[in-house]
Every structure is written in C-alpha cells, then in structure tokens.
Amino acid sequence: MTEALIVIDVQNDFCPSGALAVAGGDEIVPEINAMLADYSVRVLTQDWHPADHASFAANHPGASPFSMVEMPYGPQVLWPVHCVQGTAGAAFHARLNADAADLVIRKGFRTGIDSYSAFFENDHTTPTGLEGYLRTRGATDLTLVGLATDFCVAYSALDAVRLGFDVKVRLSACRGIDLDGSLAAALEQMRNAGVKLV
C-alpha cells in the first residue's frame, strides 16, 4: 500500500485577504506541513487561470460574482477573478512547505472550462494527468486536504473514489466556501460515495 497526500489549492487568493478568500484558509498550513513528512507521494495542486477565464464573472458582462451560468458542460458558478497565472494571488501560501512536493499539478488553465477536480476538468472527461502520475508512482491510498472543502477538495475526492482509489479527506486540514449550503451538500455527497471523512 502506498499513500499519497494531495494538497488542494493552498494559494493566497483562497486565504484571508485573497480575491476568493475562504474563512480560516491559512489556519490549515501548519497541519499540512506536518502531514507532508508522513507520505511517500506528495502532490500540490494549483488553480491556474488565464485572465480571460470563463469562470470569472468579470468576463461575463453584467454578471455578478457567485451567480450561476450555463456552460456547454453544465452549470458553473461565476467567481471573482482569482488565481490568475503568475500573480501573487496564484502563489502558494508563503508558509506552505511547497518544497516538500514531488509534483505540482496546475488546473483550470484552459480559457473555456473550469477545473475544480485535480483529476478531471468540469466536463468530467478532460484529464489533468494526475491519475497516471499516481498510478505510476504506485499510489493506492489518497488523503486529501486543502481548499475549498466544498469545491476543489470535494470534486477531487469524488473523482478519486470513482477511479478506484481509497480516499480520505482530513477535514481539520480543509476549509470551505459554503455557498448556499454547498458545504453540507458536499460532505453528504462524499460520505455517500465512500470517501472517508476523517
């Protein structure tokens, strides 16, 4: 059995004073740093959008942040501009021990499609390549931590169980956005799918 730690989107824009701040987003950094030492495979993900990304409300004239829009691949939340490639907001939190990572995987870099999951973009078919990396490293058991519990962590965990990995989400090292009850819904979906919430 080989265990991998997948650290989802611990970036400045998801931390307090960031463009899409998650309450307490920075509080999880010490626990994640401590966990990194305990896994043989260590992956960080990075939300990495071009400035003209279709998930930004600013790129939809008249639309407000946190409203919904219909995309060719289904409903999509329109977000404030965040994690633009190369900006300080897209950088990892300064105290996250990013040097400990074996792999950094970027997602959401295609203009027309968002990517919450570390495994597939929001069309649920375009792969990021993470599955192949984990399988060739021999990883069978995944622990997910990071931001945000109800979006990128949950989508990643749900894809990971579908792919046949044993999946745990360590909730003490996650924080959620909670948009219209999205946190409770995501926890319920993960539980029903067989994700172990620990």
Provide the binding-site residues for ligand VGL, judged by CB under 6 A.
9, 14, 47, 79, 116, 147-148, 151-152
Under the criterion CB under 5 A, does residue 13 sit at the interface with Zn ion? no
Contact 120, 152 (CB under 8 A): no
Looking at the Cβ atoms of 29 and 108, the one nearer to Zn ion is 108
Nearest to 54 by CA among 70, 42, 32, 38: 70
DSSP letter for 17, please: T
Over 79-132, what HEC string results?
A: ECCCCECCCHHHCECCCCCHHHCCEEEEECCCCCCCCCCCCECCCCCCECCHHH
Q: Is residue 45 helix, strand or coil?
A: strand
Q: Is residue 38 helix, strand or coil?
A: coil
* Min separation Cβ 136 and ligand VGL, Å: 25
Under the criterion CB under 5 A, does residue 159 sit at the interface with Zn ion? no
Binds Zn ion by CB under 5 A, chosen from 6, 28, 35, 47: 47
| Active site (catalytic) residues | 9, 107, 152
Specify the residue for token string 């993900």: 45
In the complex, which residue's CB is closest to Zn ion? Answer: 47
Cα–Cα dist 76/89, whole Å: 22
Looking at the Cβ atoms of 127 and 164, the one nearer to ligand VGL is 127
What does 147 interact with, of ligand VGL, Zn ion, none (CB < 5 to 8 A by kind)? ligand VGL
What does 9 interact with, of Zn ion, ligand VGL, none (CB < 5 to 8 A by kind)? ligand VGL
* Min separation Cβ 82 and Zn ion, Å: 6
Looking at the Cβ atoms of 35 and 148, the one nearer to Zn ion is 148
* Min separation Cβ 14 and ligand VGL, Å: 6
The residue ranges that bind Zn ion (CB under 5 A) are: 47
